[in-house]
Amino acid sequence: MIAGCALLVGCGSPQLMIASNLAQAAIKTSIDYAEKHRPTPEQAWAREQHDLLVARARGGDLQAQYRLGVLYAAAHDRRARLWMCRAANRGHPEARRQLGHWYNEARKREDLWPFIALRTDDRDAYVWYSLAARAGDREAGVFRERVRRGLNETRRREAERRLAAWRPSPCRSVFTARAENTTGATANAGH
User: Domains of the chain (ranges plus CATH)?
Assistant: 46-180 (1.25.40.10)
pLDDT band at 2 (very low <50, low <70, confident <90, very high): very low
Count CB neighbours of 73 within 10 A. Answer: 21
- CA 39 from centre of chain: 23
pLDDT in tens, 95-136: 999 999 888 877 766 666 666 766 788 999 999 999 999 999
pLDDT at residue 177 above 50?
no
Lowest mean pLDDT among 83-87, 143-147, 173-177: 173-177
pLDDT at residue 161 above 70?
yes
Query: What average pLDDT is seen over the chain?
Result: 81
Q: What is the pTM of this model?
A: 0.68
- Whether residue 120 contacts residue 103, with contact meaning beta carbons closer than 8 Å, is answered with yes
Residue 132 neighbours by CB under 8 Å, 6+ apart: 93, 94, 96, 97, 100, 140, 144
